[in-house]
Chain A
Amino acid sequence: MRIAWLVIRKDLAAELRSPQAMVSMLFFGFLLLVILNVAVPAGARVAPETGAGILWVAVTFAAVLGLARTFDREKQNRCLEGLLLSPLSPEALFGAKMAVNCIFMGISQVAILPIFFILYGDGFLHAPVMLALVLLLANTGFSATGTLFAAITAGANRNEALLPMLFFPLVMPLIAMAVKVTSMIFAGAGPAEYGSWLQVMAAFALIFTGLGFLFTGRIIRD
């Protein structure tokens, strides 16, 4: 547990020194928000569904950029072998990497969301706490699935293009649910209406975290 904490701190410190992942995530997120503006007819008010869709495309595509870099630092100087020789278990490594990814996504969203409300209207700003909860659940699911597949693509040859292709089909239900709940929040619906969705999202996050812990040992050792 303590060593996992050390890995988290190491990654955060490295990111602070040269914020490569953060910069690419934020830049790409902003860029997408601007590009997706073409989906909105000029002068028209954005429908809640469209707004939610735009927000989640920006959020997920930015997240993938961060996920793809999960094991970059470890691969560069054969650090992964070193980490495996240390008393750190692969499960702890998975937990640490997942936490780091979750933190990165959270930070990038803190910056992306205000831009979204500025560009697409603050009429959507209804229940910030519930929106944060949706983002948290989605981030947990994304980072669990993403870290598992980042471990897999780290061992493959063409790993940049590979991760999104493996990642998106699997998280499609999570994205769909997130968009749905977000559009309901944007439309001003109460928590009672989307409670069951949040439960399924939580179940997704839980299941994939479990699968991640179960399989990382095998993946990293091979």
Chain B
Amino acid sequence: MKPLPRNPEPILTLCTALLLAAALYAVFLHAPAERVMGLVQKIFYFHLSCALAAFLSFTTACAAGVAYLVSRNLKWDILGAAAVEIGLVFTTLVLATGMLWGRPVWNAWWTWDPRLTTSLILWFIFASYFILRSAVEQRQRRATYCAVMAIVGFVDVPIVFLSARLWRSIHPVVIKADSINMAPAMVTALLASLAAFTALWVLLLQRRVRTLALAERILTMEHRLDREPALSTERK
């Protein structure tokens, strides 16, 4: 068995913390308040950053699924599981912050806008990934099933978006979440928070991959130890 790679966590953690602090400064002190929506608009920066992290996660999961089916190397399965897990956390945050923005701005917690619908169904698809994961015992089989699930889920997302948009194009709703003219300082704040959340995402992902890989190794060692005494008694 190969040794685990050197832990890059301290440097990464430091970078993430600095970037997050910078992003918070940019969002709250540097960027001006939006004229129409007021301070609430500041939710937008971290909301979009969470969405970016979620998107990165699910793309990674799909790529890891393909890589697993091609190579049958369990490390890709671990990467996929870690990515979906983090993606689920960030999708939850996206939905929560989206609702908290929608309530004061649109006067409703929830609308069936294509973006909202898509993120909700995305959340369901990848939550069912974990239900599937817990339902299959055998290791290789679980990896194959989960890889298929991640790929199929990822392919499904554009269709969900398309169908939700078709729906709205017939009942037009004038909600355009992203057609906001942004001042330069707002762009800076947005870029800072996007960078911070990408760093946070990398940090979480490598941490989860290491933990899951460790869990895997411990499990195989336990199995081997459980079998060994039996073997030695047979030999006697």
Q: Which of A's residues lie within 8 Å of B, judged by CB?
A: 148, 152-153, 155-159, 162, 165-166, 168-170, 172-174, 176-177, 180, 196-197, 200, 203-204, 207-208, 211, 215, 218-219, 222
Pick from B128, B136, B149: contact of A157, CB under 8 Å: B136
- The distance from the CB of B190 to the nearest CB of chain A, in whole angstroms, is 30
A170 touches B135 (CB 8 A): no
Interface size bucket, B side? Answer: 20 to 34
A-contact bits for B107-122, CB 8 A (1 contact / 0 none): 0000000000000010
Q: Which residue on chain A has the smallest CB distance to residue B121? A: A172
Contact residues in A for B131 (Cβ distance below 8 Å)? 162, 165-166
Pick from B136, B141, B153, B170: contact of A170, CB under 8 Å: B153
- Counting CB contacts under 8 A, is B28 at the interface? no
Given the contacts A152-B145, A155-B136, A156-B132, A169 and B163 also touching, CB distance less than 8 Å: no
B152 touches A173 (CB 8 A): no
- The distance from the CB of A200 to the nearest CB of chain B, in whole angstroms, is 6
A-contact bits for B83-98, CB 8 A (1 contact / 0 none): 0000000000000000
Pick from B136, B138, B163: contact of A173, CB under 8 Å: B163
How many angstroms from the CA of A203 to the CA of B162 in the assembled complex? 11
How many angstroms from the CA of A159 to the CA of B137 in the assembled complex? 13
Contact residues in A for B222 (Cβ distance below 8 Å)? none
Contact residues in A for B164 (Cβ distance below 8 Å)? 173, 176
Q: Which of B's residues lie within 8 Å of A, judged by CB?
A: 69, 121, 124-125, 127-128, 131-132, 135-138, 140-141, 144-145, 148-149, 151-153, 155-156, 159-160, 162-164, 166-167, 170
How many angstroms from the CA of A207 to the CA of B50 in the assembled complex? 29
A157 touches B156 (CB 8 A): no
B135 touches A203 (CB 8 A): no
Contact residues in B for A177 (Cβ distance below 8 Å)? 163, 166
B140 touches A222 (CB 8 A): yes
Q: Which residue on chain A has the smallest CB distance to residue B160? A: A173
Pick from B141, B156, B166, B167: contact of A222, CB under 8 Å: B141
How many angstroms from the CA of A162 to the CA of B163 in the assembled complex? 25
Contact residues in A for B159 (Cβ distance below 8 Å)? 173, 200, 203-204, 207
Contact residues in B for A148 (Cβ distance below 8 Å)? 148, 152
Contact residues in B for A157 (Cβ distance below 8 Å)? 135-137
Q: Which residue on chain A has the smallest CB distance to residue B163? A: A173
A166 touches B160 (CB 8 A): no
Contact residues in B for A196 (Cβ distance below 8 Å)? 166
A155 touches B163 (CB 8 A): no
How many angstroms from the CA of A117 to the CA of B141 in the assembled complex? 45
B148 touches A218 (CB 8 A): yes
- The distance from the CB of A185 to the nearest CB of chain B, in whole angstroms, is 14
Contact residues in B for A159 (Cβ distance below 8 Å)? 135
How many angstroms from the CA of A78 to the CA of B121 in the assembled complex? 36
How many angstroms from the CA of A170 to the CA of B127 in the assembled complex? 12
Q: Which residue on chain A has the smallest CB distance to residue B68? A: A218
- The distance from the CB of A3 to the nearest CB of chain B, in whole angstroms, is 24
A169 touches B132 (CB 8 A): no
B132 touches A152 (CB 8 A): yes
A-B contacts besides A169-B121, A173-B156, 9 pairs, CB < 8 Å = A152-B145, A157-B136, A158-B135, A162-B131, A162-B135, A169-B127, A177-B166, A207-B159, A211-B152
A215 touches B163 (CB 8 A): no
- The distance from the CB of B11 to the nearest CB of chain A, in whole angstroms, is 38
A169 touches B125 (CB 8 A): yes
How many angstroms from the CA of A177 to the CA of B13 in the assembled complex? 45
- The distance from the CB of A71 to the nearest CB of chain B, in whole angstroms, is 14
Given the contacts A207-B159, A218-B69, A152 and B148 also touching, CB distance less than 8 Å: yes
B167 touches A176 (CB 8 A): yes
Contact residues in A for B152 (Cβ distance below 8 Å)? 148, 170, 208, 211, 215
A-B pairs with beta carbons under 8 Å apart, 14 shown? A152-B132, A152-B148, A155-B136, A166-B149, A172-B160, A173-B156, A176-B163, A176-B167, A203-B159, A211-B151, A211-B152, A218-B69, A219-B144, A222-B145
Contact residues in B for A219 (Cβ distance below 8 Å)? 144-145, 148
Q: Which residue on chain A has the smallest CB distance to residue B141? A: A222
How many angstroms from the CA of A150 to the CA of B164 in the assembled complex? 27
Given the contacts A173-B159, A196-B166, A219-B148, A162 and B132 also touching, CB distance less than 8 Å: yes
